[in-house]
Amino acid sequence: MAASAISSCPSLPIAHRRPTHILCQQQLPTGRRSAGHRDWRHGPRSQVTKTSSGHYDGELAARWREIHGSGNWEGLLDPIDPVLRAELIRYGEFAQATYDSFDYDRFSPYSGSCRYPAKTFFQDVGLAGVGYEVSRYLYATSNDLKLPNFGNLKHKSADDKLWSESGTFIGYVAVSTDEETACIGRRDIAVAWRGTITRLEWVADLKTKKPLVEMGVPCPDPSVKVEMGFAELYTGKDVDCRFCRYSAREQALAEVRKLVELYHGRGEEVSVTVTGHSLGSALAMLNAFNIAETGANATPDDGSTAPVCVFSFAGPRVGNLSFRRRFERELGVRALRVVNVHDGVPKVPGAFFNEAAFPEPVLRAVDVLGVGGVYTHLGVPLELDHKASPFLKDTIDITQHLHLLDGFRGRGGGFEPRGRDPALVNKSTDFLRDEHMVPPVWYQAENKGMVRAEDGRWVLLPRHRDIDEHPEDTDHHLQRLGLTASS
């Protein structure tokens, strides 16, 4: 068979087991297996038994507002509430999926894109049966830096069916299915943001603070300031790139607005949940702020407003005290930050002037003086410690956070795994201790995507060419928000 006719190699099955009661069964996607192969994570069984997306026999449907932060998670963190734990793992997996689906291969003409079609995304990343469907991919660039994301040119500019030199897949918007909506008590719109991978994004991380309104994000308070590199990636665009002619901000706002309007119009309760890891956490905070600030979560025709919540992982500080005040008190956005106490990322920026070092009046006074390094965290922290787990090396990653959530009992409560497979830690890392005998970086396509063509030569497997572009109604929904693609 010619290489061009060979279908994509499916990913290896992943066992996303949760500590839940049996309610339904979902078939995992299967990869190519040798004769006599058995999925060692589940013994002879070919199915994973779980509740739909990990909720507890309808308990989430009755408590979703509480789990979503209506009470700022008071009384739910120590010891951790089991329903909240399952939800944090769910959204953490959504963030993890942005890494699992990203095309890292610099030899691929699609390098920097998502490896999978939107319609099969969750199945392809091993989350079949999660109860959500991707409605739109999000792309980002920080074009002012004039740096390519990867070291080699991937295609000729005339070939507009191949990938972009300046744009990258940065996340996605997904929405709960009808069945899942009935289980979780509302229609949930999830926005997941990817963390730092490309060289361009590393440079974007290293900037200073600037008023939000000057970064192209409308805000009535000019004292609200955010880290400039994060905002540039969120608002940057490239008019010559078919994927980044809208900024990531515009793409996300248009899609959230469309979905909120659609489901409010059907008389449904709606929530917006934003998640991300590391740099993705910073983008999630900006996006949640922006959704509430523009009213993308509201339907003026009937007065309905969807609550906005952030579940972030290993996130840095994003802005100053004015940003926090506007975010939490005036816009009412809720944020729960999952952090490893040994991780350096949540300690920056603002290594000197921050909420842990000085009281709020001091920070405010210093900020008014124009000192650039004044930052403060948002929301409520949930602190984990990787040294509590007997499985982990002394390293930090998103997979490690999910492992720690699975075994977290509370402060000083030790570590007690509840069913999530520790092997998942080593999907793309080497963070499990060697005595557990799990090979590092085991989650990858067979032969790294290379296939044997009819002439006997080995070639890189051709990918699907139907890379999703922007929906035609993007401008319409931006206009509904009082925005234009140039604002």
Report yes or no: 322 and 225 within 8 Å, Cβ to Cβ. Answer: yes
- Sign for the pseudo-dihedral over CA of 165, 12, 125, 391: negative
Residue with tokens 């897949």: 169
Q: Is 343 a catalytic residue?
A: yes
Going by DSSP bridges, is the β-strand pair 187-193/270-277 parallel, antiparallel, or unpaired? parallel
| Active-site residue identified among 124, 343, 397, 406 | 343
Whole-number Å distance between alpha carbons of 368 and 126: 49
Per DSSP, the residues of 293-355 read HHTTTEETTTTEE--EEEEEESPPP-B-HHHHHIIIIIS--EEEEEEETT-SGGG-S-SSBST
Q: Considering 278, 281, 312, 389, which one is annotated as catalytic?
A: 278
Active-site annotation holder among 16, 277, 386, 401: 401
Positive or negative, the Cα torsion across 214, 219, 221, 226? negative
Is residue 26 within 8 A of residue 47, CB to CB? The reply is yes
In the 8-state DSSP scheme, what is residue 180?
H
Residue by residue, what is the 3-state secondary structure of 86-126?
HHHHHHHHHHHHHHHCECCCCCCCCCCCECCCHHHHHHHCC
Nearest to 377 by CA among 352, 354, 359, 343: 354
Residue 177 burial class via C-beta count within 10 angstroms: exposed 0-12, middle 13-18, buried 19 and up: middle
CA distance 223 to 213: 9
SS3 annotation, 405-423: HHHECCCCCCECCCCCCHH
189: phi then psi, degrees, rounded to nearest 5? -105, 115
Active site residue 421: no
CA distance 196 to 271: 27
User: From the CB of residue 279, how many other CB atoms can be counted at a distance below 10 Å?
Assistant: 25
Active centre residues (catalytic) = 278, 343, 401
